Structure 1
Amino acid sequence: MELSDLSVLYIMDNQDKEENLYSLLCNTVNKVTCTSTILESKQQYIKQSPCLIIIDSDFENRDIIDFLIKLRSDDIKTAFIVLSKNKNNQYLSELLELYITKYIIKPFSEDKLIEALNKCMEIIERRIYSNFKLANGIFFNFQTQSIIKNDESYVLNKKESLLINLFIQNQGRIITYEEIEYHIWNNECTTAALKSLIRDLRKKTFKNIIKNYSGIGYKLELKNIPQQLS
């Protein structure tokens, strides 16, 4: 995969796009679609299915945050880059929970953006084309969002898919019950539903893949194998 393969949705707070940035994107990636309203962004996201969204905003309100939260609830694969003059963004913690690849303070150099684009490309390529090893003979395939176990494929449902992606992107740390409820159910979840989801994912992978830390949350356990893609 090359930078020239990327399709980009470029969301701006105002009507006037920055011509230098727009020209750089047009000369670097495959396609750039510009929007300046939430409605237009929703329409173009559905129409274009971009692999990268660049958000150019000073975050004077949370409209763009709510849009991205809704988008991320169904789409774990699209990469996000944020460009902003806001060094003290009150929504930064929420943005980080949405797995943004880079938060770049304006003004910035072209090299800084190219570096961010390359990082996004690596992440996109890994999510789309790679198998993630969970244990010997057990993999998660990002492209099909399925578990491959002893050469058999088990397709995950939407919540299972969101959960395994959440765990993989947060290897090495405990994910709290509240975080899981936020990302999978938008804070509307029963204890029984959470336990049922964990149980179903264990059945499709292996019993000890997810360890419970009582009163805190859950953590991905990879059977003492190297945490890498293959």
Structure 2
Amino acid sequence: MITTKNDKVKILYVEDDDITRENAIEYLENYFVNIYEAKDGLEALKKFEQINPDIIITDIQMPKVDGLEFIKSVRQKNKEVQVIVITAFSHKEYLLKAIELQLVKYLMKPIKENELKDALELCVNNLKNSSTNIIKLNESSVFDKYNHTLLINDKLIKLRIKETDLLTLLLNNKDRYVTYEEIENYVWKDFPMTKDALKTLVKYLKQKISKDIISNQNGVGYKINV
């Protein structure tokens, strides 16, 4: 049960109606610290790339890119993100498409607060209990993505915020090189990133884990080797 504000989970709320979105954000702020919003599927795709959310709540009928197409694009990159779809439609066509996208819940408008809260609690529990949260980096190092903790030889190693964010981003995309732009958006957020600052950050992580944990492809980006 959600009783205190959660500061670990990032939520992306997608809704084209301004009043509905504002009311929902106000409700979510009772339980979560990190809430982001988008007014259509196209903006949502950009926000998804920038923040790498843990939970997505999206409407279906939206301009530019609808909710199901947005989630379909998300699923091509991230199989673990928790998704709640909200819609005023109960057409069989939508339901069948939604099933294929591994949704946590399919909620009908008007949304009841208790139903949304129950769905969010399910999402948070799924994140907490997911075996994919515990990542073995090497023989002596383990990283817990949900709790943001690094253990080396069973000893807790303190990570700075940017170190945690970079490690999480690389692990979420461990099958490819993460571009400099993606790293800047996710780790530096609204501030500019320099190549020297990124190199220093990578150096600190390597010192704490191992020198071979992260590799660089010049002109492309960084990749984690796990």
- In the superposition, the TM-score normalised over structure 2's length comes to 0.52
Q: Name 1:20's counterpart in structure 2.
A: 23
* Counterparts of 1:12 and 1:117, CA distance in 2: 17
2:96 corresponding residue in structure 1: 93
Match of 1:188 in 2: none
2:108 to 105, 108, 115: 105
- After superposition, residues 1-230 of structure 1 pair within 5 angstroms as 4-5=6-7, 6-58=9-61, 63-88=66-91, 90-127=93-130, 128-129=132-133
Counterpart contact for 1:59–1:89, Cα < 8 Å: no
Residues of 2 paired with 1:56 and 1:103: CA distance? 10
How far is the alpha carbon of 1:15 from its aligned partner? Answer: 4.1
SS of equivalent to 1:82: strand
Tell me if the contact between 2:15 and 2:59 (Cα under 8 Å) persists in the aligned partners: yes
Query: Where does structure 1 differ by over 6 angstroms across 4 or more consecutive aligned residues?
Result: 59-62
Asked if 2 retains the 8 angstrom alpha-carbon contact of 1:84 and 1:105, the reply is yes
- Cα deviation, 1:11-59, whole Å, max 9, x if unaligned, reads 1133444433221111211211111122211111111111000002347
Structure 2 residues not aligned, in runs of 5+? 136-142, 146-170, 176-226
What's the C-alpha RMSD, in Å, of the aligned pairs? 3.2
Q: Secondary structure at the match of 1:31?
A: strand
Change (3 A) 1:16 1:94: same
Q: Distance in 2 between matches of 1:48 and 1:59?
A: 21
- Deviation string 1:177-230 (CA, Å, 9 cap, x unpaired) is xxxxxxxxxxxxxxxxxxxxxxxxxxxxxxxxxxxxxxxxxxxxxxxxxxxxxx
* 8 Å contact kept, 1:81–1:101: yes
- The residue identity in structure 1 corresponding to 2:6 is S
Number of residue pairs matched by the alignment = 139
